[in-house]
């Protein structure tokens, strides 16, 4: 397992906890992807899902309401007390609105961690534009703002097979939605 210290710095955990504690809805919109995750669960015959960078936990709440028989849902977020324990393996790892927030010097470790945790696939949605929120030190909350081509290259370099992922209408130029096949 990759030590958490390689995934996120102590200072950045504090900055993220501060944003999550603010009343502005940071990390609370994962439920928008619940239907797409259900479709991917069917496609990959996934019975376990890990929401990696789960924020406030909106995705797993929405998935539990669907009462999917035999499914196990887990959450991981190093900035959320109670959800910061080392994550467990899952058939499908969901990572929406997370990778652009990673400290640039830790991106390779996080991508390796995702690959290690996913048995079948990773569903990732990555913002390609600045966030409308700032960190306590004044930096934009999106630490990595790059093109879809740049992200695709990084994901392929990390050993993933990059496939087109589900899309939300109106967001095509603002985010990259991909399914990362593992072991392909």
154 in a domain, yes or no? Answer: yes
pLDDT digits (tens, 9 = 90+) for 93-148: 999 999 999 999 999 999 999 999 999 999 999 999 999 999 999 999 999 999 99
171 in a domain, yes or no? Answer: no
116 in a domain, yes or no? Answer: yes
181 in a domain, yes or no? Answer: no
Q: Domain containing 137: what range? A: 11-166
User: Which has the closest alpha carbon to 180: 113, 114, 100, 88?
Assistant: 114
130 in a domain, yes or no? Answer: yes
Burial (CB count <10 Å: 0-12, 13-18, 19+), residue 68 = middle
pLDDT digits (tens, 9 = 90+) for 148-158: 999 999 999 99
134 in a domain, yes or no? Answer: yes
- CATH code for the domain in which residue 162 is found: 3.40.50.150
Number of structural domains in the chain: 1
98 in a domain, yes or no? Answer: yes
Mean pLDDT computed over every residue of the chain: 91
d(CA 25, CA 21): 9
**Residue 42 backbone phi and psi in degrees, to 5:** -65, -45
Query: Tokens 């849902």 belong to which residue?
Result: 73
pLDDT for the residue numbered 21 = 83
60 has a pLDDT exceeding 70? yes
pLDDT digits (tens, 9 = 90+) for 63-86: 999 988 899 999 999 999 999 999
Name the token pair of 1. 């397992």
125 in a domain, yes or no? Answer: yes
pLDDT digits (tens, 9 = 90+) for 11-28: 999 999 988 887 666 777
- Could you tell me which residue, 34 or 5, shows the higher pLDDT? 34
pTM of this structure:
0.93
pLDDT for the residue numbered 139 = 94
């Amino acid at each position: 397992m990759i030590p958490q210290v390689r995934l996120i710095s102590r200072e950045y955990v504090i900055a993220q906890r501060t944003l999550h504690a603010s009343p502005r809805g940071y990390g609370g919109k994962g439920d928008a992807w619940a239907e797409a995750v259900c479709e991917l669960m069917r496609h990959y015959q996934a019975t376990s899902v890990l929401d990696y960078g789960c924020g406030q936990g909106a995705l797993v709440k929405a998935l539990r309401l669907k009462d999917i028989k035999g499914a196990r849902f887990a959450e991981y977020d190093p900035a959320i007390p109670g959800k910061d324990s080392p994550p467990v393996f899952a058939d499908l790892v969901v990572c929406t609105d997370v990778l652009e927030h990673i400290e640039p010097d830790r991106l390779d470790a996080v991508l390796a961690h995702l690959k290690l945790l996913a048995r079948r696939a990773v569903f990732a949605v990555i913002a390609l534009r600045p966030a409308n929120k700032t960190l306590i030190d004044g930096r934009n909350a999106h630490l990595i703002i790059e093109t879809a081509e740049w992200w695709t290259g990084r994901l392929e370099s990390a050993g993933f097979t990059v496939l087109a992922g589900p899309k939300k209408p109106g967001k095509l130029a603002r985010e990259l939605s991909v399914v990362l096949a593992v072991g392909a």
